[in-house]
Structure 1
């Protein structure tokens, strides 16, 4: 009798192990608008660690990806196991419409509240910030702007990309306007001080590295990448707040392979997954990993931004900025 019980127990254990292994194999349908320089290294490292799981990437630009997702939803069959995109509003809409599923990842506690949905419907898999970039040949350590008001003190040697052409600068403009301590008054003072406006992020970055500008509204990972190439640039997180742009990660409600999707999400949020991003100059979403070389460590103050408010008032905000500049 004892032998029969032990044998039966062993069969159950083997069956459970085989079932789990099978569930965590197969293919993950991965929908993403993240740049390939981000997703391809993530996929490569994941499949090195999990050869039993194939990642089938559907890659597209943000607008095209959202159109694909909503077309599948309209047809009643969202086929994505995992979605990773740069637009937080997309995930708010998908959550509200009931097209995401909750996942209590074991890595959730490593993320600050601002980088995860309170119901664990999505998490930030990547985040980048807009703060103050500066030319280290022109700005001494004791003169690095610590606030947005100090940024204005550089007058014509300060610059920003136009919110009419740069999406990140448009989002920062919206964050400024929603912050009573900064508001439209900051832009009026910027114009009076002679702060320059150029077309795009690439233009303002080239102006900084060449020495045309001393300080700019800069993006953290771009500044870190330039510094790694030997450019004389540094980056500061202003004490009165930076713009944080999370790129959410979620599991679709009707995910065909939920078990494998969870393994993939866990890897992206894990120290190993985040290190892949840090190696490409992105700040980690976890607080237990050092930032990339060239970026400061420590607490980051984030400006509160109402994404829906910003989307509704986009034309109005752009028109007012155009009137100023």
Structure 2
């Protein structure tokens, strides 16, 4: 089934109803009548002391901030962080699956397709977190094995000191003018990049023909989105394919970098969270997942430049209105079944 061009106001209905009017507002600036004051919520019930391990692709500083904020609510829970790129995380989990001992209690990374695979292998605990009803249903697994925690589109970034007329479409990037000027992440490392490869190949307006033409421009392949954004910000490569929040962060810090949302549509991942079925501390793990989509957790997500998954916490400064975007929303089962082949196609075109 080909990817569908769906306006975000349709695809993310629950979010759009309350947030569209304020999507370009600064963090925490949602309509007060619709907002939730995290401090006004009932205090959490203390849990039995426990230690859980979080596997995540979040940058270390952001993961540390997540845990610190969670510990303000649940100081009795120790969260140990193992941080790596999504490709490294999935490889580690595969090795642990073979040995019969998954080392993590909670996974926060990647895309829904990855979690669907883990659920199919009976690796995940069935759990629908508190406040899941405040999220768009498209971001919550109906069987309860995982929940989206951020909306992370992949876009075109460009250095404003070097590019005067930025590309406005994925097709623009195949122009010979961009030869040797593009940088993009490696799908062997980045879960978002692996997902994107499958989405692009499934999209009729793009497909393998577009990917082949893009490869002819010889993009630099960086390990992950972080190095991509840095390369664009420093001008090492003037154009990049990268997740949007990194561009906002660097622009806010004064870097000459801006974002273009391609007219064909943007793929996005929701960085789900799920709990491994063999966790020895299910209540602590559940409390951590609850926190991620709570008003407190989502307010922190906005402060960290992410588009939130709930509508009552504002949006990052400089973020676009969701109804101004076209979302590439392919059939999830199609992406699951084709992602490995899509990554192999990417390797053949870009890495050999």
TM-score, length of structure 1 as denominator length: 0.74
Alignment-derived partner of residue 328 in structure 2: 302
Deviations 1:128-182 (A, max 9, x none): 3211113345666xx6544323455683386233758774545433321111111
Cα distance change of structure 1 residues 208 and 110 upon mapping to structure 2, 3 Å threshold? same
Aligned residues: 298
Report if the CA contact (8 A) 1:30-1:81 is conserved.
yes
Alignment-derived partner of residue 26 in structure 1: 49
Report if the CA contact (8 A) 1:208-1:214 is conserved.
yes
Rg larger in 1 or in 2?
1
Alignment-derived partner of residue 208 in structure 1: 232
In 2: Cα distance, 1:57 partner to 1:205 partner: 28
Report if the CA contact (8 A) 1:235-1:294 is conserved.
no
Gapped regions of structure 1 (runs ≥ 5): 1-19
Are residues 1:180 and 2:204 paired? Answer: yes
Superposed displacement of residue 230, structure 1: 0.1
Which structure 2 residues correspond to residues 150-165 of structure 1 after superposition, within 5 A? 150-152=172-174, 155-156=177-178, 159-161=182-184, 163=186
Cα distance change of structure 1 residues 198 and 64 upon mapping to structure 2, 3 Å threshold? closer
Cα distance change of structure 1 residues 254 and 128 upon mapping to structure 2, 3 Å threshold? same
Equivalent of residue 270 in structure 1, options 294, 304, 316: 294
Equivalent of residue 347 in structure 2, options 312, 318, 325: 318
Deviations 1:209-264 (A, max 9, x none): 34566543232122112112101222233242222233221123243333333222
Cα distance change of structure 1 residues 72 and 217 upon mapping to structure 2, 3 Å threshold? closer
Cα distance change of structure 1 residues 225 and 265 upon mapping to structure 2, 3 Å threshold? same
In 1: Cα distance, 2:152 partner to 2:172 partner: 22
Note the aligned Cα RMSD (angstroms): 3.5
Equivalent of residue 94 in structure 1, options 104, 118, 133: 118
Report if the CA contact (8 A) 1:84-1:250 is conserved.
yes
Equivalent of residue 79 in structure 2, options 40, 47, 56: 56
Q: Which has the higher helix share?
A: 1
User: Which shows bigger deviation, 260-269 or 147-156?
Assistant: 147-156
Which structure 2 residues correspond to residues 220-235 of structure 1 after superposition, within 5 A? 220-235=244-259
Equivalent of residue 148 in structure 1, options 135, 145, 170: 170
In 1: Cα distance, 2:302 partner to 2:64 partner: 14
TM-score, length of structure 2 as denominator length: 0.70
Equivalent of residue 248 in structure 1, options 258, 261, 272: 272
Superposed displacement of residue 59, structure 1: 1.3
In 2: Cα distance, 1:58 partner to 1:207 partner: 27
User: Which shows bigger deviation, 198-207 or 287-296?
Assistant: 198-207
SS in 2 for 1:240: coil
In 2: Cα distance, 1:270 partner to 1:202 partner: 27
